[in-house]
């Protein structure tokens, strides 16, 4: 198995830190994964209704087959892909700024914003997913890579949350300037990536030589993919909707949602880089999440008492932190079992499985919430039965994941 040998110093890691810090804000402004900055801009400045915005977000699923095709790209194209990605992001952000500046609310031109967000999802799938994690694996050692995927990611999420609040409080003119500024940051990232080293292309086969076959993925990858799918599928989907319609109708959903963000970002910030086994962290994460599900099962709706409300909020925050920890451990484990020859394909399939499982969970969760409304008097309604079943299955699947120290550190 070919192992990565190239490693960069701290100064070489700076472009990766910058990308991890700013990508959440760029994605939020472009509407990727339902980005909230885009939602505010589309509804308040462009006059698009919720149905149109929802359809635009839903069309992001068109990226899945294209993303699977992109898994064929070699690692040698990763740096070029990332530079092209941020250049396209910059252009798309400038288009949004122009739409806000020159399009009146409700005009047909406003629909271009939906084209922008769909294009952003496709660009993410084709250029980012097959390139970002493989480049981290090629360029950084295990501890530096974990710091990028945990602390830098947490800082980026916090920055995006702050800028969301700022954007929501601004008038139209400052919002235009902010979108243009985010676009300028994206363009700066495209230029900054010139300093990142990239692997040299493999020599072309000479006359009479057959092209080398694609090496198979490591034998453990199907187990990792299965564990990832279970974890993403049962990650408390549409829980705010469940709280609003079943458990605690009078709750401040903004504050409850903030608890989820705080839990996930807190887990990322507290992650400690290690070359030792990380599978144990994933197993502990799913056990803690299962304990949170058990705590949730003790609440009988409506949650009118302070103790019940506190249990609900704490359980949600703990589950978010535990799931985030397990996800980071799964990502690091994947890095440790792949090599240069399989990195792009493995990471692309990893992203497809994770995102698709999460989307399926949102669909199933929404259906089960509607069933649970009419059965709120049950000790365990369909939604909580779903969470409990997925928690148990995920624990079983995680038990069969191998322990794996990083022998490349």
Q: Do 10-195 and 221-399 have matching folds? A: yes
- Tell me, yes or no, if the pTM score tops 0.75: no
Residues 6+ apart with CB under 8 A from 320: 236, 259, 260, 261, 262, 263, 264, 267
Single out the residue of 86, 74, 70, 76 nearest to residue 19, CA to CA: 86
Give the whole-angstrom CA distance, residue 14 versus residue 278: 25
Position 406 scores a pLDDT of 57
Q: Which is the CATH superfamily of the domain at 221-399?
A: MFS general substrate transporter like domains (1.20.1250.20)
Domain ranges of the chain: 10-195, 221-399
Single out the residue of 168, 23, 137 nearest to residue 75, CA to CA: 137
Q: Is 47 left (phi over 0), alpha (psi -120 to 50) or beta?
A: left
Give the whole-angstrom CA distance, residue 195 versus residue 191: 8
DSSP 180: H
Position 206 scores a pLDDT of 57
Span 10-195: which CATH code?
Answer: 1.20.1250
pLDDT in tens, the chain (409 residues): 444 444 444 457 788 899 999 998 998 899 887 677 887 788 788 887 766 766 666 666 666 777 777 667 777 888 888 999 999 999 999 999 999 999 878 788 888 888 888 888 788 878 887 888 888 878 888 788 888 888 888 888 888 878 887 888 888 899 999 999 999 999 999 998 888 876 666 555 555 555 555 678 888 899 999 999 999 899 888 787 788 778 888 887 767 777 877 888 888 888 887 888 889 999 999 999 999 999 998 888 788 888 889 999 999 999 989 998 999 899 889 888 887 778 778 887 888 788 778 767 877 887 888 888 877 566 678 899 999 999 999 999 998 887 766 555 4
């Amino acid at each position: 198995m070919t192992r990565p040998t190239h490693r960069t110093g701290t100064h070489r890691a700076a472009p990766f830190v910058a990308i991890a810090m700013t990508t959440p804000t760029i994605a939020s402004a472009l509407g990727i994964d339902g980005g909230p900055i885009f939602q505010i801009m589309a509804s308040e400045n462009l006059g698009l209704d919720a149905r149109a915005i929802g359809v635009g977000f839903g069309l992001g699923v068109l990226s899945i087959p294209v993303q699977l095709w992109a898994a064929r790209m070699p690692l040698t194209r990763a740096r070029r892909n990332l530079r092209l990605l941020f250049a396209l992001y910059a252009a798309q952000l400038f288009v949004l700024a122009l739409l806000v500046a020159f399009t009146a609310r409700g005009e047909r031109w406003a629909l271009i914003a939906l084209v922008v967000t769909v294009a952003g999802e496709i660009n993410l799938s084709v250029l980012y997913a097959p390139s970002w994690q493989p480049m981290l694996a090629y360029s950084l050692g295990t501890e530096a890579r974990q710091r990028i995927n945990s602390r830098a990611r947490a800082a980026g999420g916090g920055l995006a949350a702050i800028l969301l609040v700022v954007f929501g409080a601004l008038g139209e003119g400052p919002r235009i300037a902010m979108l243009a500024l985010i676009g300028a940051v994206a363009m700066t990232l495209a230029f900054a990536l010139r300093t990142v080293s990239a692997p040299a292309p493999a020599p072309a086969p000479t006359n009479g030589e057959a092209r080398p076959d694609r090496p198979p993925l490591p034998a453990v990858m199907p187990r990792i993919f299965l564990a990832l799918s279970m974890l993403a599928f049962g990650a408390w989907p549409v829980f705010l909707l469940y709280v609003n319609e079943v458990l605690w109708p009078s709750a401040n959903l903004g504050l409850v949602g903030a608890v989820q963000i705080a839990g996930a970002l807190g887990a990322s910030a507290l992650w400690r880089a290690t070359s030792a086994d990380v599978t144990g962290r994933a197993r502990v994460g799913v056990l803690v999440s299962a304990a949170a599900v058990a705590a949730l099962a003790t609440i009988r709706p409506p949650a009118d008492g302070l103790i019940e409300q506190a249990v609900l909020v704490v359980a949600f925050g703990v589950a978010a932190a535990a799931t985030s920890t397990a996800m980071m451990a799964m990502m690091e484990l994947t890095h440790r079992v792949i090599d240069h020859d399989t990195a792009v394909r493995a990471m692309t399939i990893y992203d497809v499985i994770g995102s698709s499982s999460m989307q399926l969970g949102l669909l199933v969760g929404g259906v089960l919430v509607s069933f649970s409304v009419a059965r709120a008097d049950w000790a365990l309604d369909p939604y909580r039965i779903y969470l409990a079943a997925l928690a148990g299955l995920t624990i079983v699947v995680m038990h069969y994941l191998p322990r794996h120290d990083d022998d490349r550190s």
